Chain A
């Protein structure tokens, strides 16, 4: 079955530690996205990638980093520079990076920084 996987579902880290969230897709999609969801707010775009070895900052990229070395993988690192990292993180992909393309979402990772 094709789809997007994120791991782990729940993640706990101590303050000051970097943490990397995994996102893998086998849909053969070119575009991938990382969103952050906080209670009472809409999804906000962190980073997106239109193609392998290329990525662009979204609206809230500060304190985050990404890589896109393979088409199927788009890991997100939450660095110690992110002031409020506790949130629900969602990865998505689409065939192309156009906003009229349907985005397919992963199950999400809930990060809690203690």
Chain B
């Protein structure tokens, strides 16, 4: 059983829609990472957060430590946002991240 669960697995939206991707984890963490993987395969790190909320452009990441849950929101979605979004948790004292399986987002024009 993967310790990091993402939902939905696939998401299709129309341009301009507000997007929410969810991530739940089962153990205490030191930080939660959100990453973006483009169709070519390259991965970029979007956020690392351990509490509250972070915002970068149209992307917003929130985390609720008590509920062991994080969300990634995309406002005014655009076709260029189409990608796989991956969350990963880190547990203090370890060098390893545990990754979710990813959410494939398709934004249609």
Binary interface encoding of chain A residues 2-23 relative to chain B, with 1 for a CB under 8 A from any of its CBs, else 0: 0000000000000000000000
Interface status of B66 (Cβ within 8 A of chain A): no
B31 within 8 A of A: yes
Complex interface: chain A residues within 8 A of B96 (CB): 45, 48, 58-59, 99
Contact assessment for B30 and A99 in the assembled complex, using a CB-CB cutoff below 8 Å:
yes
Contacting pair B101 A98 (CB below 8 A): no
Task: Number of A interface residues at 8 Å Cβ cutoff, please give it.
Answer: 27
A-B contact count (CB 8 A): 66
The answer on a CB contact under 8 Å between B94 and A99 is yes
Q: Are B90 and A41 in contact (CB under 8 A)?
A: no
- Residues of chain A from 59 to 114 with CB closer than 8 A to chain B in the complex: 59, 88, 90, 92, 97-100, 102-108, 110
Nearest B residue to A96, CB-CB: B95
B95–A31 touching, CB < 8 Å: yes
**Is B4 part of the binding interface, using a Cβ–Cβ cutoff of 8 Å?**
yes
In the complex the two chains form, is B102's CB within 8 Å of A99's CB?
Answer: no
Residues of A within 8 A of B50 (CB): 100
B48 touches A108 (CB 8 A): no
A43 to chain B, nearest CB (A): 4
Chain A residues at the B interface, C-beta cutoff of 8 Å: 31, 40-45, 48, 50, 56, 58-59, 88, 90, 92, 97-100, 102-108, 110
